[in-house]
Amino acid sequence: MAKHQELRSKVKEILKIVEQFTIKVNSLSYEEQKIELEKYKSYLSIKQKPQEEKDLPDIPNRPERVVTRFAPNPDGPLHIGNLRAAVLSYKYAKKYGGKFILRFEDTDPKIKPPLLKAYDWIQEDLKWLGLEWDELYIQSDRLELYYEYARRLIANDDAYVCECTQEVFKNYKNSGLACPHRDRKDSLVLFEKMIAGNIEEGKAVLRLKTSMHESNPALRDPPLMRVIDTRKHPHPRIGSKYYVFPLYNFSAALDDSLMGVTLIFRGKEHLTNSLIQTEIQKKLGLSTPFS
């Protein structure tokens, strides 16, 4: 702090990060803490020893052109969980002379509402760690683009507007049966009504038409977009201008392809997500990154 005068004005923010970090660390067992610390030892040495990038293990069958992305939800400061992905993505982009993209995934103003300050916090923290990005995108600026791809899927009969409640659809899904909306012809009209704010939150979702017989139930017609009443839950950046927001898998699948991302570092819990994203990309004839 004494050396870095400029940090003094940010004491509150720093304390918040430290506090969040401490809570996280304290929730780990001693063994887990030791493991995390080991990981950080090499991560945090980036600044002092950039030549270490040569020691990163090679990725077999990696794409020729490496483009990675770090895609946090700006709903709070960086934490241990997403820092790992940030560091790996950055270091591998550098190792292979590729590109590192920072993408804010801020399309859930209701359940995981973004925090205006977090957009800055995350950028400042990444810079402080030496993880400079080549391109920056914010998903809430891209909603019209997601609508365009949704319309394309509907036109190709690869998506439909489903008016089942979550509970009711779950029963269809688990029994491998199509809901009554699957073969409707008016999905585009209804989708436009959703966009215009004329369908209430919770009353309709856009679903990808895969198959109701997929062995993994999560792959049976997964949701792509839903209505969020931004009159009640305004988005901190774009207010109440839009009512339809993509689910994580839809926006991530589109953005990864459209931004030319070729290499993704995922946790194991994302396996089902990546399968759904691949389905979306296939239907749209878009490329799928290596992960």
Binding site residues, Zn ion, CB under 5 A:
162, 164, 179, 181
Rounded to 10 degrees, the C-alpha dihedral 136/255/237/145 comes to: 120
Minimum distance from residue 142 beta carbon to Zn ion (Å)? 27
Minimum distance from residue 247 beta carbon to Zn ion (Å)? 16
With tokens 């923010």, the residue in question is 13
Minimum distance from residue 273 beta carbon to Zn ion (Å)? 22
- 93: its two tokens: 């982009």
- 221: its two tokens: 């017609």
Minimum distance from residue 163 beta carbon to Zn ion (Å)? 6
State which residue, 18 or 218, has the beta carbon closest to Zn ion: 218
State which residue, 122 or 179, has the beta carbon closest to Zn ion: 179
* The three-state (H, E, C) secondary structure of 258-276, written as one string: HCCCCECCCCHHHHHHHHH
State which residue, 27 or 166, has the beta carbon closest to Zn ion: 166
State which residue, 131 or 204, has the beta carbon closest to Zn ion: 204
In 10 A of CB 142, how many CB atoms? 17
Minimum distance from residue 156 beta carbon to Zn ion (Å)? 19
Minimum distance from residue 14 beta carbon to Zn ion (Å)? 48
With tokens 């009640």, the residue in question is 232
Minimum distance from residue 161 beta carbon to Zn ion (Å)? 8
Minimum distance from residue 162 beta carbon to Zn ion (Å)? 3
With tokens 């969020």, the residue in question is 228
Q: Which residue is nearest to Zn ion (CB)?
A: 179
CA distances for 276 relative to 97, 166, 245, 268, angstroms: 30, 18, 17, 14
State which residue, 122 or 204, has the beta carbon closest to Zn ion: 204
State which residue, 164 or 254, has the beta carbon closest to Zn ion: 164
Q: Taking the chain, what is the end-to-end CA distance rounded to the nearest angstrom?
A: 39
Amino acid identity at 63: P
- 164: its two tokens: 């089942």
CB 189 within 8 A of CB 219: no
Give phi and psi for 103, each to the nearest 5: -130, 120
| Adjacency order of strands within the sheet including 205-208 | 159-162, 205-208, 223-227, 244-246
